[in-house]
Chains A and B, each alone.
Chain A
Amino acid sequence: MKLKSIIALALVGALPLTAGPITVKGSDTMVILAQRWAEAYMSAHPDATIQVTGGGSGTGISALINGTTDICNSSRPMKAPEREKLKQRFSSLGVEIKSAKDGLAVYANEANPVQELTLDQVKDIYTGKITNWKDVGGSDTKIVLYSRENNSGTYVYFRDFVLKGKDFSASAQNLPGTAAVVNAVSKDPNGIGYGGSAYAKGVRFIKIKKDAGSEAKEPNAETVKDGSYPITRYLFMYLRSRPTGALKSYIDWILSPEGQEIVTKVGYFPVK
């Protein structure tokens, strides 16, 4: 009987029944949004503690698989091999929650005369096929490419969706966050970069066309909502299991009108 009591106590002790801090790791695209959510929620719920860090979507997903985060923020869907690792470790497929929408913007310096590009032109620029702005209607200057590091969900999404799986040009400079990309492009008249539309301060959106015959669009609430902006994506939260208790309360609040209002204030778009 004593042994059964000890085992029962050990099992209870292993369960996350007590309300400890909620850890959030992952996407740098979402880190400011996640911080705003956490601040607003903790302000309204003083007993809650939420710790937010970035590091990139890949870092967040690894932390979810390793059991070192409660919520993983990701600006790209989890890949099948990542789901498989989660399944192996925790016998769970994970829970995917769409928390916001984003128009993945292509930035240019405010002095750059190029106003619009097709998706194919963006692909050719970032794969190194087009290397001079004059080939796309700009001045006769070399295009300077700014990109993200490969643990970034934005990097993976851009490579898979815009570059159609092709490799980035070797001359692309990998920067650690969207803010760094925006900063670089704002200081470089020949620079081009990409990232979440919420970060575009000091740079200009390049309007994107699906193809040469389509209308060029820039990312805003209307074009992202109706899908007419060609590079629209969801921003995800991933959990290991179905949320319960304090974690569920927080997720429910994020998806509520109050949480989605913060999405708009930060510069992204509500999930519905």
Chain B
Amino acid sequence: MKIAFVLAAAIAAVHAQDSTQSPVSPEQVTNLKGQVDGLNESFLETKNTVDKLAKIKVSGYIQAQWQHTDTNGAASVAGGAFPVNSDQRFLVRRGRLKTTYETPTSKYVLQFDVIPTGLSIKDAYVTMMEPWLKMASFTMGVFDRPFGFEISYSSSSRESPERSRVYQTLFPGERDMGAKLELTPGADLGMLQYFNLKGGVFTGMGPTANEIDAEQDIIGRAGFQIPLYDLNLALDGGFSMYSGKVLAVNDTAFSIGDTSFLRTIGNLRKLFDRNVMGIDAQLYYDIPVIGGMSLRGEYLWGEIPGVAGASGPYAAATAPIFDRKVMGWYGMWVQNFGTKLQGILKYDVYDPNTDVKGANVRPIAGPLAGETSPGAAELKYTTLGYGATFYWDENIRFTLYYDQVMNEKANAVAAGGSAAFRSDRKDNVLTFRMQAKF
């Protein structure tokens, strides 16, 4: 339409000029008007196309880092185990590309992780929003499990380089396949606006594995967000629940006795509980002159069927189930200094088996039939992390962060793979990361 105005102004100018010389003929005016109408139609068509294209958004981020640890080949949750013959590495930790198509009542999301080791899908889901109260949405596909706070807090926003150990172990990949309903009341619903609820049904197999049984896992979180604008203070939090079942595909299963794992048989096709509860809380406060600070924490506990030597969720096709009670928590403080600098302090605890103490990680004397000694996978980890982030501009930031990792010590006579855990392993990690986000 801007073109139409220029032409209309031109017509007027020509008319004004010609009025002093010779009048503009009606045919000329009709001809020009026709051209203007044609341009207008063409503009409207182009505008329609542009409006559709404007609904597509492409975003992403790249996290490239250099890391140093204490010993060659150290195991680490800060990006995986180090190379066998090296105590340092360069790593493209994440390379995300996300496309979103959004209309007033729906959203379609595809997100990939593209790193040197390969390409994987992170998100693939459709969300439908109801158009009446605009408070309910329904999502299906592969997306973040609706549990806790740290799962859905984007890695591009998160101040520490990695999520806490409890989340990395119990919810690998953060995502699962399923469907969820989410309720987020708006400001027009009075007090309800401070509460939110999300929950759904999932395969329990993670983002890419296919379902192996007929059991679905139920995951949900009831949350609140209370903004106190006059104080520039916000209190957020929630209670989460994970309730599922795991189908045993091996006749043998192990559960912890007094000091060792005891074998049972007759478990083929038996269902084992997989239940986790969590509470989370976040406080945000703007300290005058200095900047905003946040205190965040979560506490998780539950029962997780796993496998020998690994405390993560059960996903093996044939291995016996090892049933464990788990616990994990973290506390984190982030302090902004102006707009460019941020300090971070995080304390993170994960106990993969609350029934096993380090002293029990040792060979059993005179084992009973089927008795198995606990191994290093049952040891508790404590991590103290601290660092700082510098925001170069709105797209680029640099983070320097140190993870001081302490493991529970195994018994002095621990043998085999557990022997290395008689003392604290040398596996602290220094990370220097550059993130570019668009």
Contact = CB atoms under 8 A, between A and B. Distances in A.
B394 A68 contact: yes
Interface string B225-246: 0010100111000000000000
A90 B340 CA distance: 10
Interface string B269-287: 0000000000000001110
B341 interface: yes
B284 A244 contact: no
A10 interface: yes
Interface of A: 10-11, 14-16, 66-68, 80, 83, 87-96, 165, 167, 170-171, 173-175, 184, 187, 240-242, 244
B291 interface: yes
A93 B286 contact: yes
Interface in B194-244: 227, 229, 232-234
Contacts of B286: 90-93, 241-242
B337 A244 contact: no
A67 B394 contact: yes
A163 to B, nearest CB: 12
A92 B293 CA distance: 8
Interface majority SS (helix, strand, loop, mixed), chain B: mixed
Nearest to A176: B2
Contacts of A244: 288-289
Interface of B: 1-2, 5, 8, 44, 47-48, 51, 104, 134, 153, 157, 186-187, 227, 229, 232-234, 284-286, 288-294, 334, 336-341, 391, 394
B14 to A, nearest CB: 16
A67 B334 CA distance: 17
A90 B289 CA distance: 13
Contact of B336 (A83, A90, A94): A90
Given A91-B293, A167-B104, A170-B47, 7 more contacts: A88-B157, A91-B285, A91-B294, A93-B286, A95-B232, A187-B5, A241-B288
A16 B341 CA distance: 11
Contacts of B341: 10-11, 14
A93 B232 contact: yes
Contacts of A242: 232, 286, 288
B227 A90 contact: no
A83 B51 CA distance: 26
17 contacts: A14-B337, A14-B340, A14-B341, A15-B290, A15-B291, A16-B339, A67-B339, A80-B186, A80-B187, A83-B227, A90-B291, A93-B284, A93-B286, A94-B232, A170-B48, A184-B1, A240-B339
Quick one: which of B8, B157, B294, B339 has the most chain A CB within 10 A?
B339
A234 B41 CA distance: 37
Contacts of B234: 87, 93
B127 to A, nearest CB: 14
A87 B288 contact: no
Contacts of A88: 153, 157
Contact of A15 (B8, B44, B232, B338): B338
A16 B44 CA distance: 48
A93 B288 contact: no
Given A15-B290, A83-B227, A173 B338 contact: no
A106 to B, nearest CB: 19
B8 A187 contact: yes
Nearest to A14: B341
Contact of B229 (A96, A170, A174): A96
A83 B257 CA distance: 51
A170 B153 CA distance: 37
Nearest to B334: A91
B15 to A, nearest CB: 14
Contacts of B104: 167
Contact of B391 (A67, A187, A241): A67
Contact of B5 (A10, A89, A184, A241): A184
B288 to A, nearest CB: 5
B394 A87 contact: no
Contacts of A187: 5, 8
Contacts of B394: 66-68
A259 to B, nearest CB: 22
Given A68-B394, A171-B44, A92 B338 contact: no
Contacts of A96: 229
Quick one: which of A14, A80, A88, A171 has the most chain B CB within 10 A?
A14
**Nearest 9 Cβ contacts at the A-B interface:** A91-B292, A66-B394, A92-B292, A14-B341, A67-B339, A91-B294, A92-B286, A14-B337, A173-B1
B135 to A, nearest CB: 12
A167 B47 CA distance: 15
A165 B337 CA distance: 39
A14 B338 contact: yes
A149 to B, nearest CB: 10
A93 B8 contact: no
Quick one: which of B153, B229, B233, B291 has the most chain A CB within 10 A?
B291
A202 to B, nearest CB: 14
Contacts of B186: 80
Nearest to B233: A93
Contacts of B290: 15
Nearest to B286: A92
A15 B2 CA distance: 46
A16 B340 CA distance: 10
Nearest to B131: A165
Quick one: which of A10, A187, A240 has the most chain B CB within 10 A?
A240
Nearest to A85: B157
Given A93-B227, A244-B289, A16 B338 contact: yes
Contacts of B157: 88-89
A15 B229 contact: no
Contacts of A66: 394
A248 to B, nearest CB: 10
Contact of B289 (A15, A93, A167, A173): A15
A235 to B, nearest CB: 18
A240 B292 CA distance: 9
A169 to B, nearest CB: 11
Contacts of B187: 80
Contacts of A241: 232, 286, 288, 291-292
Contacts of A92: 232, 284, 286, 291-292, 336
A68 B339 CA distance: 9
A173 B104 CA distance: 20
A247 to B, nearest CB: 11
